[in-house]
Structures are given as structure tokens and as C-alpha cells.
Amino acid sequence: MSCSSRTPSPEAVSSGPRGGVNLLERERVLPGHCDRQVSIRGQQVTAARSRLRLALAATAVLLLAAPAELTPATPAFITHTIATGLSKGYQVVVADLNRDAKPDVIALDSGTSQLRWYENPDWTPHVLIDGIQGAINAAADDIDGDGVPEIALAHGFTMEYATSAGIVSILQHRGDPRAPWSVREIDRLPTAHRVRFLDIDGTGKRVLVNAPLIGAQAKAPDYRDQVPLVLYRPGDWKRQLIDEGEQGVVHGIVAARWGGDTRESLLSAGFLGVHVRSFANGRWTSTKLVDGEPSPWPKSGSSEIVVGRLGSDTFLGTIEPWHGNRVVAYRRLDGAWTRRVIDDSIVDGHTMAVGDFEGDGSDEIVVGERGGKRSVYLYRLTNPGGNIWSRHVLDDGGMAAAGCAVSDLNGDDRLDVVCVGTATANVKWYENRKQ
């Protein structure tokens, strides 16, 4: 057999990558050296194949070890429908209403006369109260210590000061939480829009804060006027002024322990940006944290505000401007709050929440858009030392989220998400299945 007959056929010859080495590449053989050449070539091929096997084995080990080195994958969520057929879903509140240690869901439907709650785990609906109009916001806290929370409700809402009753009521069970609750009206402040319970004294006894949407002289589209923030102490429920430092539209408020204090502070989002208010020594102090969207009034400021943790660091999350299209994260870098627009494609952004869904000590951000794609998104930090975030879809087109809340709904020690949709007229639970 000649050396030429030992040369691989064209079909057996592969054209290796440009600049690379291919073990099947044809080799020119000098006359009289066929057997020696084939022997040497065989040794080279065998050695090369051994090196390749070792390299592949090493690569496999690295790939198996890689997850410990990489950022954890986004947790998988399973979607459960709690309710459909709502009229104008607006907000969800999570609280245990029947003392069974299972968080239940209160869903505000602004287009109906009823306020309903859904009993965990089969989500049986119950009517808390009937005969109301324009329910816009609620908060729950066990004021009397009987294990069932009282519910503060803002209702009678419209966007115009002159036509908005701005009723604030306290709902209380009568023994059976599944039966209708009692209603006690405590105040009327037109455009009452956001209510939250805060532990401003650090005693565990919370006050109720009421933030109207606009002031008495505000007119669309500028809404220029001062906006009062007020509170009520349980018992006499008399209105007390916090301050009138806000102007334009105040859309979001949240309670948070700020600056290492055991007392809760009030953070607000409005046309003037984000402020934090703290109560100490019998008086309130207000500090501006960020300006928010830098566009001219009335496209300025912020609409929603959340406070999250990234390890030992605090960050702020906002939607900007009012009912805006931008999701923004603020981190303190080099001693100053640094603004980062992490998404500018949402339409009518209306709700924001935070939670550590990975269990790694860092919070992710949940955002819902009422318009556009009618979807819910989850944002997670991708570079711990900076402020770069990635977006992941939680609900693609099936939730025009006006309100979302974060809680462990099934007791598996993983935080879940629950949202209510306006145009989609539904309530959904997104179960966190992170392993």
C-alpha cells in the first residue's frame, strides 16, 4: 500500500477553525518515510486525543463548579389565579384575617361597592363591607391586640378636590372575620389617597398616616398647591398635621426604618421628588433625598418609592415621573445618591415592591405597568459594586398591575408576589419556587 493510499480521503478531512489545529488535517509525506511517518503521526494523534480528553474533563469540572461562582439564577415563579371578574382592581393588602397563621389577601376594587378578602389557601372570597364607593387604599394593623387586624380604608375618592369626599374609615371584625365587618368613619380629607400604619415612636404602637393626592387649590395639569400630610392616633383618631411641605401630586408613601433608627420614618414620592420624614422629640423633620425625574413640572419628581437592601447597603427604587415610564434605582456611591434609570419602556407604571426572592441578602424590585404590555417585571442587581440591573418577566401580558405586595403566602420561607390588575380585572399569586 502506498503512502498516498494512507492519506485520508477528502471526505475525512475537516477544515479546522481558522488559525487552529485540526487532528484530521492532511499532511504531506516524504517518499521512503511512509511507515515511520504514519507511526509518528499516530503517536501525535494519540497524544493530542489524550490532551483533548483531559481538557474536556477539566472543562466539565469547571462547568459543574461554575454555579457557585456565578450570580444565582432568577427564581422560577408559578402563577396562580386568585380572582377574576373585578371591575377596577387597584390595590392588594396581605394580612392574616382569621388567625390561622396563613396570610390572606384583601383586594381593593375601585369600581364596586364591596371590599372583599380572599381566604388562604383556597382563596374563598368574603365581603368585608358593602355600600362604599371609590375605594382607593387600605392598610392593616392589629390595634387592639386580638390577633385580627383592624383595616384603615380610604374611599370616596375622585381626582378632583371639589368632588372627592376623601373618607377615612376603620373596619373591625365582629367576632367572625368571614362575616361583614363594622365601619367607623374617622375623617374626611378630599382626595385621601394613601394610608399607612407607622411605628413613629418605636413602641410598637402605630399611628395611621393619610396622604391626599393633591391640595385644595390644585387643578390639572399642573396641580400647583401645597399638599398636607396628616396622622391619626388610635383611640381618639383626631387629625394631626405632619406638615404641608409637599406640592403638586403626592402619589406614593412607604414606612421604613431609616438611618439605623428603631422608629419608622415616612418616605414620600411626588412632584418634588422623594422625602423622608422622621418624628423625634415631639416634632417632625423632613429631608429631601432625591429630586427624581429632572424634567420640568409637572413631569418632574417621582410616583412610587420603595426602600430595599443590598447586603448591608440601602437603596431606593422609584417609578418616575407620575404614572411614568421609568424604573429608577438609587444607590449611595461615594457618599451621594446616584441615579440609574434601569428601564424606560414601561407604560403607566403604578406599583413597585421589593423582596429578597433569592434568599441571598439582596432585594429584587417588582414593578407593574397598568398600560402598555400590561405586565409585571422583576429587576435584579447584576454587579454588586455598582448599579446595573437586569429585567425578568414575571407576567407577560396577563396583569395590568395597579398594586402588588410581597409576602410568603404558603409558608415555605420564600417570598412570593401578589398583584391586582385594573384592565385585566384579576388577582394573581406568583409563587416563588426557588430551590
Instruction: State yes or no: pLDDT of 74 exceeds 90.
Output: no
Residue 158, CA distances (Å) to 110, 235, 307 in order = 10, 28, 28
pLDDT (average), residues 126-130: 98
Residue 360 gets which letter from DSSP?
A: S
Q: How far apart are CA 31 and CA 34, in angstroms?
A: 7
Reported confidence tier of residue 180, pLDDT bands at 50, 70, 90: very high
| Across 44-58, 103-117, 176-190, 230-244, least confident range | 44-58
Contact 261, 278 (CB under 8 A): yes
Per-residue confidence (pLDDT) for residue 1, from 0 to 100: 40
pLDDT tens, residue by residue, 194-223:
999 999 999 999 999 999 999 999 999 999
Higher-confidence position of 260 and 367:
367
Instruction: State yes or no: pLDDT of 181 exceeds 90.
Output: yes
**Residue 109 burial (CB count, 10 A):** 22
Instruction: State yes or no: pLDDT of 266 exceeds 60.
Output: yes
Q: What is the number of helices (H) and of strands (E) in the chain?
A: 2, 28
Instruction: State yes or no: pLDDT of 100 exceeds 90.
Output: yes
pLDDT (average), residues 38-57: 42
Instruction: State yes or no: pLDDT of 313 exceeds 80.
Output: yes
pLDDT (average), residues 318-326: 98
Residue 411: CB partners within 8 Å, gap ≥ 6?
101, 102
Instruction: State yes or no: pLDDT of 250 exceeds 60.
Output: yes
pLDDT (average), residues 282-298: 97
Instruction: State yes or no: pLDDT of 70 exceeds 50.
Output: no
Reported confidence tier of residue 325, pLDDT bands at 50, 70, 90: very high
pLDDT (average), residues 165-179: 98
| Across 36-50, 110-124, 139-153, least confident range | 36-50
* Mean pLDDT (the chain, rounded): 86
Per-residue confidence (pLDDT) for residue 384, from 0 to 100: 83
Angle ∠(304,360,416) on CA atoms, nearest 5? 55
Cell of 320: 418616575
Its pTM surpasses 0.85: no
Per-residue confidence (pLDDT) for residue 178, from 0 to 100: 98
Contact 323, 334 (CB under 8 A): no
Which of 253-262, 296-305, 331-340 ranks highest by mean pLDDT?
296-305
Report the percent of the chain where pLDDT is more than 90.
Answer: 80
Reported confidence tier of residue 33, pLDDT bands at 50, 70, 90: very low
Number of residues that make up the chain: 435
Higher-confidence position of 70 and 276:
276
Reported confidence tier of residue 182, pLDDT bands at 50, 70, 90: very high
Residue 46 φ/ψ, nearest 5 degrees? -60, -45
Instruction: State yes or no: pLDDT of 363 exceeds 60.
Output: yes
Instruction: State yes or no: pLDDT of 188 exceeds 50.
Output: yes
